[in-house]
A = this chain, B = another copy of it.
Amino acid sequence: MLDPETAAPCCPPLTERPLTAEEAERTAKMFKALGDPVRLRLFSLVASHEGGEACVCDISDVGVSQPTVSHHLKKLKEAGLLASERRGTWVYYRVEPSVLAAMGQTLGQY
């Protein structure tokens, strides 16, 4: 999980000035989380799912075992990209809204 204090307004556009070591460390975590094909598909499945959230059962069909899916979802949570909530039998994941904006800003688009 990312500290909410440090998560929200991270870093300037890559084209504005060189990133400091600390900024690079933080920003790289987000890109790294999306740098795996399975995680990218899982993230896309959640992000594009109706209602903005999906339970694990909805998105488990990406060609790897269920423990592996769980492992990747955990990584996405630790990177601050997804949030999860258990409601009864199922666990629902949704996209952490501020993150896409932060990454977009890092890429220099507003």
Contact = CB atoms under 8 A, between A and B. Distances in A.
A48 B107 contact: no
Contacts of A27: 34, 40
B47 A14 contact: yes
B19 A41 contact: yes
Interface of A: 14-19, 21, 24-25, 27-29, 31-41, 43-45, 47-48, 62-63, 95, 100, 103-104, 107-110
6 contacts: A15-B48, A15-B95, A24-B40, A24-B44, A28-B35, A35-B35
Given A31-B32, A100-B107, A103-B107, 10 more contacts: A15-B44, A15-B95, A21-B37, A21-B62, A28-B39, A31-B34, A32-B32, A35-B35, A100-B109, A104-B108
